[in-house]
């Protein structure tokens, strides 16, 4: 089960998580000369990224990977890769290597093989994974309303293409198996609605109902939850 850290301010939660992530990255750099960090998109990690990008770290030896991607060009405001280039891989972290997930293909499914090969070139067990969570219990782009969510949660492949309802932007996501293959697993979420969602997901039940259960109810790597209102 997870270790929940509750904070009075979102900035305090972000700073505490940044300290834990930086320690793990520094450990990887010292041991292997390289480190890998998986991070979410969205608005929640803004304060976290502000802390990370100013850290005194040899970012040139750090690879940053988004946990998921909307299938839009990297110039689109909705692109997670664009978000990371503009808010994380700048300042002291400008030399970090960013491994984007988007490819110029009509659908995420058409790019699965190419993206999987790029992910397989990384260490199988990465140094740190930071995830977000939606009020519906999704994490990365593993949504409960995806028609193939069971397969997305069960596969050993490194990435998946969730089949979203019509009208939703197609997405590609790291698989649950790849997200859990890490030395440090953290969940960052803010607000009472997400605290309630986390409480529901922490109860026993199928991961297809709340996909974030796939990282809460597992024993491979401890999950640390950082929450503030």
**pLDDT, position 26:** 98
Residue 114 CA to residue 92 CA, distance in Å, equals 30
**What rounded mean pLDDT belongs to the chain?**
97
Q: What is the pTM of this model?
A: 0.97
Statement: residue 177 has pLDDT above 90: yes
pLDDT of residue 171: 98
pLDDT band at 67 (very low <50, low <70, confident <90, very high): very high
In this prediction, residue 25 carries a pLDDT of: 98
Q: Is the pLDDT of residue 1 over 90?
A: no
13 confidence band (pLDDT: 50, 70, 90):
very high
How far out from the chain centre does Cα 172 lie?
12
> What does CATH list as the number for 3-228?
3.40.50.1360
- Residue-wise pLDDT for 155-175, tens only, equals 999 999 999 999 999 999 999
Name the pLDDT band for 150 (thresholds 50, 70, 90): very high
Percent of the chain topping pLDDT 70:
100
Q: d(Cα 146, Cα 208) in Å, to the nearest integer? A: 9
Predicted local distance difference test score (pLDDT) of residue 112: 98
Domain range list for the chain: 3-228
Ramachandran angles phi, psi of 130, nearest 5°: -115, 130
d(CA 80, CA 98): 11
φ/ψ of residue 95, rounded to 5: -90, 0
């Amino acid at each position: 089960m997870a270790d929940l850290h509750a904070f009075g301010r979102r900035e305090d939660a972000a700073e505490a998580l940044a300290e834990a992530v930086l320690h793990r990255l520094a450990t990887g750099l010292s041991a292997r000369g390289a480190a890998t960090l998986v991070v979410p998109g969205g608005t929640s990690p803004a304060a976290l990224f502000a802390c990370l990008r100013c850290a005194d770290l040899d970012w040139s030896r750090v690879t940053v990977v988004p946990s998921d991607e909307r299938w839009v060009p990297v110039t689109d405001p909705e692109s997670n890769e664009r978000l990371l280039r503009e808010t994380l891989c700048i300042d002291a972290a400008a030399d970090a290597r960013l491994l984007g997930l988007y490819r110029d293909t009509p659908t995420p499914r058409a790019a699965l093989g190419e993206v999987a090969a790029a992910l397989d070139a990384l260490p199988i067990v990465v140094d740190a994974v930071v995830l977000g969570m939606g009020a519906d219990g999704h994490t990365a782009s593993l949504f409960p309303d995806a028609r193939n969510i069971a397969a997305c949660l069960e596969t050993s492949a490194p990435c998946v293409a969730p089949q979203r309802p019509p009208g939703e932007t197609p997405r590609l996501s790291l698989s649950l198996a790849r997200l859990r293959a890490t030395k440090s697993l953290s969940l960052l979420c803010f607000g009472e609605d997400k605290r309630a969602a986390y409480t529901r997901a922490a109860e026993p039940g199928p991961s297809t109902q709340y996909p974030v259960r796939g990282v809460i109810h597992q024993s491979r790597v401890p999950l640390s939850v950082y929450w503030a209102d």
